[in-house]
Amino acid sequence: MAADVAIRARGLTKRFGELVAVDHVDLTVPKAHVYGFLGPNGSGKSTTIRMLCGLLTPTDGEIEVLGLKIPEQAEELRRRIGYMTQKFSLFEDLSVRENLEFLAAVQEVPKAETARRIDQLVEQYHFADRQKQLAGTMSGGQKQRLALAGAVIHQPELLFLDEPTSAVDPESRRDFWEKLFDLADGGTTILVSTHYMDEAERCHRLAILDRGVLVADGTPIELTRALAGRTAVVHAAQPRTAQQALIDVPGVLSVAQIGNSLRVLSERDGDAVGRLREVLSAASLQADVETAEPNLEDVFVSATRGRGEDTRPETHA
């Protein structure tokens, strides 16, 4: 495995009986990057993460993480990674500092270093005035920060985060992501799954999973540039009527209403604007049509077309 690669998986597959949860996924995660998994619930994100960190044995495929063969060397890997899930998993009847002391012991942080490391995290994660507060009495955002502090107490090289921000407010999510970039700047590799589009846009690199299949992989800019010329915005006096006129047009993948406008994604590059104008004019509908810059939601819809409905991830901030 190349020295600048943290994770390499080839043909990664997991079956549960007849269900194929992860289907021959190939991944390459560079070191010191924030690498995102985007996809709806049930797309295979959590299953993939559990296999990569050695908690779940794959049905087929090869995995190397930090130069170690997984799951064969999972115990050796455990000391070098951190893992955080969407559910708060610390002890609610222990204080902030007691939780960190417990996790330091579990991760075998040398006792001579424990107090210094906890003091560092308490300051860095804004718990200086809350060290004695019981974890169970904190807000969702505070619990999230504590869980992240606990996950990095042993200064792991690689951090797995499984939808860590699903239960907190937007301001806490933004603060959390600032912490992630601080860690990446310090050399930590981060693999984070999400179903929030605004979070996916912040990743250095992004993989899109749909029903266990890797349907797109690249930087957000690479993925959106690939859709150049395929997106348009329609400003119509009757947007719902215009939507019905456009939804069944050959080559149109999606027509989504956003406020009083429609966002249209076409199957391929071409004179999408001209074709949409013709359709609306033929339907005697007054509308302005203009090209639009592609975004990650367009990428997701394009990558998952024909793979079933109700798969679009959330877009709110």
Residues 6+ apart with CB under 8 A from 207: 27, 35, 36, 37, 38, 214, 216, 217
Dist CA 194 CA 205 (whole Å): 13
Q: Is the pLDDT of residue 20 over 70?
A: yes
- Output the average pLDDT for the chain: 91
> Would the CATH topology of 5-223 be identical to that of 228-293?
no
Q: Where are the domains of the chain?
A: 5-223, 228-293
Q: How confident is the model at residue 312 (pLDDT cuts 50, 70, 90)?
A: very low
Predicted confidence at residue 309, as pLDDT, reads 45
Dist CA 151 CA 4 (whole Å): 23
Instruction: Find tokens 């019981």 and name the residue.
Output: 134
Residues 6+ apart with CB under 8 A from 183: 152, 159, 190
Sheet with strand 205-210: strands edge to edge: 81-85, 158-162, 189-194, 34-38, 205-210, 213-218
Predicted confidence at residue 54, as pLDDT, reads 94
**Interhelix angle 111-124/140-151, nearest 10 degrees:** 140
Find, among 267, 232, 238, the residue nearest to 253 by Cα.
Answer: 267
Predicted confidence at residue 100, as pLDDT, reads 96
Predicted confidence at residue 165, as pLDDT, reads 83
Mean pLDDT (whole number) for 147-175:
90
**188-203 confidence digits (pLDDT tens):** 999 999 888 889 999 9
Note whether 201 and 223 are within 8 A (CB): no
Q: How confident is the model at residue 304 (pLDDT cuts 50, 70, 90)?
A: confident
Q: Is 317 exposed, middle or buried (0-12, 13-18, 19+ CB in 10 A)?
A: exposed
Q: How confident is the model at residue 239 (pLDDT cuts 50, 70, 90)?
A: very high
Q: Is the pLDDT of residue 75 over 80?
A: yes
Q: How confident is the model at residue 86 (pLDDT cuts 50, 70, 90)?
A: confident
Dist CA 146 CA 156 (whole Å): 16
Of 104-108, 190-194, 209-213, 307-311, minimum mean pLDDT range: 307-311
**pLDDT over 70 percentage in the chain:** 95
Indicate the class that CATH gives domain 228-293. alpha beta
Q: Is the pLDDT of residue 310 over 50?
A: no
The 3-state DSSP class for residue 142 equals helix
- Report the CATH superfamily, name and number, of domain 5-223: P-loop containing nucleotide triphosphate hydrolases (3.40.50.300)
Looking at per-residue pLDDT, the higher value among 122 and 194 belongs to 122
Q: Is the pLDDT of residue 316 over 50?
A: no
* Angle (CA) 26 29 34, round 5°: 135
Q: Is the pLDDT of residue 172 over 70?
A: yes
Task: State the CB neighbour count (10 A cutoff) for residue 55.
Answer: 15
Alpha helices in the chain (DSSP H): 45-52, 74-78, 96-106, 111-124, 140-151, 170-185, 197-200, 220-225, 239-247, 272-282, 296-304
Of 44-48, 131-135, 158-162, 313-317, minimum mean pLDDT range: 313-317
Note whether 267 and 226 are within 8 A (CB): no
Note whether 170 and 317 are within 8 A (CB): yes
Mean pLDDT (whole number) for 251-265:
93
Dist CA 110 CA 114 (whole Å): 6
Q: Is the pLDDT of residue 311 over 70?
A: no
* Ramachandran region, residue 298 (left: φ > 0; alpha: ψ -120 to 50; beta: rest): alpha
Predicted confidence at residue 90, as pLDDT, reads 87
Predicted confidence at residue 317, as pLDDT, reads 40
